[in-house]
Amino acid sequence: MAAVGILCAVALAADTKEFRYNVGPNSSVTVINEFGPVNVKGIPGHQVLITAKLHSNKVEVDAGQMGDRIDVTSHQLARGSESDAAVEYEISVPPDTSVTVRAPSGPITAQHLWADVVVEGDAAKIDVRDVRNAHVHARTVTGPITLANIVNGHVEVTSVNGDVQLTNVDGRKVSVNTTKGNIRYAGDFGSGGSYMLVNYSGDIEVTMPSTASVDLSARSVNGKVEQDFPLQQKVHPSFTIDSSRSFAGTSNSGASSVRLRSFSGKIRVKKQ
């Protein structure tokens, strides 16, 4: 049943606006905010609630609903400082809402969601947690990215210089690609997942419990590798092992494939 959106824009104060929309299942919300934080949280219900705190009268918020799609954009009305142009967003959505946020300065947080999450920010610090059954795409130029407690996700993380921290990220496909950013993974790898962590010159560090069931390979072209986790060596590894630059092996039944690749960074795998 198509949901009918009801807009209720209320000026709570001179610089704060509130928008409420009723939505049906599987709606989507897109937020574009040049300066300032965007925090999105899934809460049960059928309503999207957006609270926008404007830092000055040099910026406005343009929000609208088309069916179950809601678009929110901050517009600069006049040239001013970054501080003048900033808008702080607090957004609550039904958990099955797909969320897209582009906030170059950030920070961006998203949590308690069961639908796709796309977050982008040049220098934005990104934090996505408690998301399940969803595509999670996060990308930055320099901003650090943290993902935690992702269940059954299809995860793609890309950053040039931002560090990436993943904790208990479980999914069929998990891909992290950075140029200089360090990549850290902590926790289990779930079952049946395919993990690919790649960078150019940053370090890659994986910390996992002894119960982790992985088929793991680590290769660095010019960097070193360190292994402090007991792996059973494979009889027929898919590449020639050079102990200073690569290793491969399985733990338990090898349920998830984990590939760690760095061109010139150091790779370390250790026990939690």
Partner 1 sequence: MTCAEFQRVLPEIIEAGGNAEQEGHLSSCPVCSDLVQDLRYIAEQAKLLVPMVDPSPRVWDGINDALEREGLVRPRKGTGRFRTATVLVPSRWSSVGGLVALAAVLVIAIGLLSYRRSTTTEGRPLQIAQAQVSPATAADSDADDDAKLIAHIKQTSPAMASTYDENLKSVNSYIAAVRSRLRDDPEDEQAREYLVRAYDQKAMVYAMAMERTLE
Please report, as ranges, the residues that interact with partner 1 according to CB under 8 A. 32, 34, 82, 102, 104, 120, 122-123, 139, 141-142, 158, 160-161, 175, 177-180, 196, 198, 200-201, 219, 221, 239, 261, 263-264
DSSP 67: T
Q: Which is nearer to partner 1, 138 or 208 (CB)?
A: 138
Shortest distance in whole angstroms from residue 196 CB to partner 1: 6
Q: Which is nearer to partner 1, 141 or 186 (CB)?
A: 141
Shortest distance in whole angstroms from residue 70 CB to partner 1: 18
Shortest distance in whole angstroms from residue 137 CB to partner 1: 11
In terms of Cα–Cα distance, which of 72, 66, 98, 69 is closest to 9? 72
Q: Which is nearer to partner 1, 142 or 167 (CB)?
A: 142
Shortest distance in whole angstroms from residue 56 CB to partner 1: 17
For 1-27, b/e burial (b = at least 16 CB within 10 A) is: eeeebeeeeeeeeeeebebbbbbeeeb
Task: Give yes or no for a contact between 188 and 212, defined as CB atoms under 8 angstroms apart.
Answer: yes
Shortest distance in whole angstroms from residue 178 CB to partner 1: 8
Q: Which is nearer to partner 1, 23 or 54 (CB)?
A: 54
Q: Which is nearer to partner 1, 47 or 263 (CB)?
A: 263
Beta bridge partners of 121: 140
Query: In sequence order, what DSSP letters do the residues of 85-122 get, joined into one string?
Result: T-EEEEEEE-TT-EEEEE-SS--EEEEEESS-EEEEES
CA triple 142-148-150, angle to 5 deg: 115
